[in-house]
Amino acid sequence: MVETPDGKSSRRKAFEWALYALAGPAGVTVAIKREAINWPHSPIAYAYHEAAHCLAAYLVRWQPYQLTIVPEEITDRHGRTVTAGGSCSASPRPVKDVSSFTHSKDTDRRIAVMWCSLLTPQWGWQSTRRLVRQLEKQAEEMLNEKWDLLDRLAEELFNKKVLDQAAIEAVLTGQEQASPALLEFLAQPQGAEQFERWVN
C-alpha cells in the first residue's frame, strides 16, 4: 500500500475522489426521489448537485471552500465551449487561495471511473464498472441518510447563488465526519461493502 505525501494510502485517496465525484449526480437522484425537484436540469437541481459534492467532501474530512451555481463557460476535454451550472471548490489539503482552483473538463462519472480503475487495477474493466455502480449506490445512501443537511445546504446555495467557506461551515460545522481509520478501511476491497454502516 503506497502512502501519499499527506499520509493517506493511495487506495483511500482514490476512494475519496471517486465518492466526491459521484456525490453530485447522486444528490440530484436523491432530491428527485424525495420530490424536492422534478427535473434534473432545473436551477435548484444544480444547487443539490453542488451541495452534494460539498457534503461528501466534508464527510470524508476535506475542506470545502466555495460553492456556486453561477453559470460559467468552460472548455471541455474535446475543446468545445460548454456552460457549467456550478462548481464546488474543496480540497483534501489546506488551500490558501480559492481562486487557484481549476475545475475539471471531464464529467463527474468519467472522473469517478478513472479513480475506480486505480482501486481495481488487477481486475479489469468489468470490475471498475461494478465498483462505480456500487459507489453510486453508496453515495445515494449516504446523502439519503444526511438528507436534512443536504437539503439545508442546497436551499442556502439556491437562495444566495454563492457560498463562501464561512457560510458552508455555518451549515456543516458540528456534523459527524468519518474517522481517518474508517476511511482507510472503506477504501479496501472488503471495506466497500461496509460503507453504509458509517452514514447512520
Separation of alpha carbons 72 and 10, rounded Å: 32
pLDDT in tens, 62-97: 999 999 999 888 777 777 887 777 889 888 877 766
Cell of 180: 481517518
Give 200's pLDDT tier (boundaries 50, 70, 90).
very low
Side by side, which strands form the sheet with 87-91? 87-91, 63-68, 162-163
> Does residue 14 carry a pLDDT above 60?
yes
Q: Percentage of the chain surpassing pLDDT 90? A: 38
pTM of this structure: 0.83
pLDDT in tens, 109-137: 888 998 888 887 676 788 888 888 988 98
The two beta strands, 63-68 and 87-91, are antiparallel
pLDDT at 143: 94
Query: Stretch 149-172: mean pLDDT, rounded?
Result: 95
> Does residue 1 carry a pLDDT above 90?
no
What is the domain partition of the chain in residue ranges? 10-95+105-198
pLDDT in tens, 140-153: 999 999 999 999 99
Among the ranges given (41-55, 159-173, 184-198), the one the predictor scored with the smallest mean pLDDT = 184-198
Separation of alpha carbons 24 and 4, rounded Å: 25
Closest CA relative to residue 25, chosen from 47, 52, 59: 52
